[in-house]
Each structure stands twice: as C-alpha cells, then as structure tokens.
Amino acid sequence: MSAASATPSPCSYRHEHFRDTLALGLERGYTFRTCADYAAKGPVPEQLLAVMRHDIDLMPERAPAMALIEAELGIQATYFVRVHANEYNPFGHETLAILRDLVDMGHEIGLHAEPLDLQASAGVEPVRAIRASVAALEGVLDVEIEGVASHNDITPDNNLDYFRRTPAADLGLSYEAYDDSGLDLFAKSHYVTDGHFWYWRTFKGGELTEDRSCLCEHFDARRAPVYALLHPHLWFAKHFQRVNH
C-alpha cells in the first residue's frame, strides 16, 4: 500500500489490509456504491467510482468481519448468496442471522445463482429455481432482491451461459452482475477480483489482463471505475486456516 495511507499494511488477504485498502480508496476520493445503486443510477461524470461486490461461495461465517469493516467506514456493498449450495444452508439459524445482520448494516443482498448446475444435477428448470430462490430470500430477509450473479463452480456447466440468453428483466430482476443491460459495468470497468486465491486478477474491457495489482494499487492509481469482487472465505484476521481468529 502507498506510504500516503495513514495506516499502511503489506498487501495480503488479511482483514487489516482490507480495511486499509478501503480507507485508501476513501482518501483518494472514491465514491463506493452497491451493484443495485449503480444499476439504478449508472456512472457519474468526473467521479471516482468503486462498486464493491462479494460472492459468498463458501463459509458465510467469514462475511461479517468484512461487512463490519465496510459499515464502519460508511461503505455499502453487495453480497451474493447461494441458495442451492451443498456447502452451507442460507436458511439455517446461524447463516440466516448473519445475512440479516448484513442487511441491518445497510448492505445489499443478491442471489448467487447456479441454474445450469441445478438443472443438470436435480432437473429443476432454471427460471423456476431462480424465482423460487429470490422469493425465499425476500421472505426471510424482508428485502427486495434486485440482482443476480452467476456462480462459477467446478462443473462442465457455465452458469453465465444461461444469463447470456435470459436477461435479468425476464426474471423480474434489475440486473445480472455481468450483463451489459441492467448493470453494464463489467466490460466498462477495471474488474478486480481475488478469485484466484493468492493473487489478484484484473479484467479490462471484459478481457483478462496480465495485471496482478492488489485492489489497493488500483485505488492508489485512481483507476476508475473499479468493479471489485472479493470472496469472504479467502480473507482472514491472522491466518487462512484460523476461521475465528
């Protein structure tokens, strides 16, 4: 991180560095928005913009630490939740309480959908699964689910293919996280993701680049807009294997 930051920390996936990174973004003049807010308002000229997104692929118990850091800094983010995961039950006591806490902090909840995987594994028609999932989340969280993001799993199916031929509007939603209609951000941003475990990846114009800069370096360079995807299960306080410490 730049020496200009008040509390610099080495680039890592530690919560400490996440806080420092967001603080640097604020210091550099970024405005942070959720996916739904960006979908509704679009870009603002001459504004340094960052859209913060989190996909809860695994271990929802790791989401609150990041959500709290964001809330304490006055930042609202979007958290996409899986409904059909084998790895966790979003309606179980602990996970549901976590999701309701995220809502109370002001964060957006969206659906992290895997329609083609579910159709292949259980024979459920995609539109039925998506609408039922949205209704279930809305019912227990008492919020409107506005957006959906395709989940990428270790299967032969690419769930994004479904949304490439089925617009979010056809599903009663405002946007899909990679679409060029409702959100229209992925191909027009510096899309920065931690999704390869121990190094960052940057897409520009929708294409993967060789840039492995940390999110803090993008903020330090005032690149805009930044569309950041972070996975809470990769982030930790002391060590990746120590879930609660």
* Cis? peptide before 115, omega within 30° of 0: no
pTM of the model: 0.94
Q: Name the helix (H) or strand (E) containing 147.
A: strand 147-150
**Could you read off the pLDDT of 42-85 as tens digits, one per residue?**
888 878 999 999 999 999 999 999 999 999 999 999 999 999 99
Q: What is the predicted pLDDT for the residue at 8?
A: 63
Structure tokens at 152: 């990428």
**Which residues is 191 bridged to in the sheet?**
203, 227
Q: Which tens digits make up the pLDDT trace of 150-186?
A: 998 877 788 999 999 999 999 999 999 999 989 999 9
Pairing of strands 226-230, 201-204: unpaired
Give the confidence band of 4 by pLDDT, cuts at 50, 70, 90: very low
